[in-house]
Amino acid sequence: MTESRSGHAGLALSPDTSSALRYAAFPTESGGGNPAGVVLDAAAMSAAEMLRIAAEIGYSETAFLEAIGSRDYRVRYFSPQAEVDFCGHATVAAAVALADAELGAGELVLHSNVGEIRVSVASVGERYRATLTTVSPKTAELPAGPLAELLAALDWEAEDLDPDLPIGLAFGGLWHPILWAVTRERLAELEYDFAALTTLMQREGWGTVSLLTRERADLIHSRNAFPIGGVVEDPATGAAAAALGGFLRTNGLLPDGGKFRVLQGEDMGQPCLLDVDASGHGGIRVSGTATRIVADAE
């Protein structure tokens, strides 16, 4: 074994998938979670090598880290098809992987394409739990033209939208359209024009499309279409959950205390639980655990 630049014995890398760990982020108590790849020392890797590894792993995102301080890292995220500026579930997976690899609990600073992401890692029983804080959120109107194209690509009608909740665009590291389905049953029906939605999202610069229903003020069901990443949907999307927190804050829709939970991946058989804290001002906090996928990692 050799010593890597990050100081972790045994983690020096060659640019192949053997350098990658696999973690499931945001699992529920009964399982599930969204798989992410994590490369703990990508200092010697080119962007092309990162993209190739992400494609070979095949998960919606893989995080590539380069140590620039004792608990400071440059992070880049790649889907199987392109670099992604920010990814919440891969951030949580990377933070827990660093904790597992000797760092333990404590504070981390990840320097992403969208800015500084602070992550607090706590020990909870036999697990680590990570809380990321995003860059400052933003919201915007969803113009009528792109909205009409979006509904057409989704095969949704205006009647499929909840008339009591606002639509729009939200940012917590990536931009996401926010659409509320009129019922949970409508949300369960997700069949869309993959090519048309991909083209629209690329043109508009959207990360995922957030499709939602609100069971109550502090519990939201979510599906996130992600064709630009090469997959139909993402089982858990920390960036979208953060963007939603900023959107609810701006629209005065947060529950008392500003905290809520997002259930995602249920209709995929990969249930995921994301805890969101949008209280106060500034960045949104998204929390969850991650577990090592040992069978794939060895």
Among the options 61, 66, 233, 266, which is catalytic?
61
Active site residue 61: yes
CA distance 119 to 130: 7
Active site residues: 61
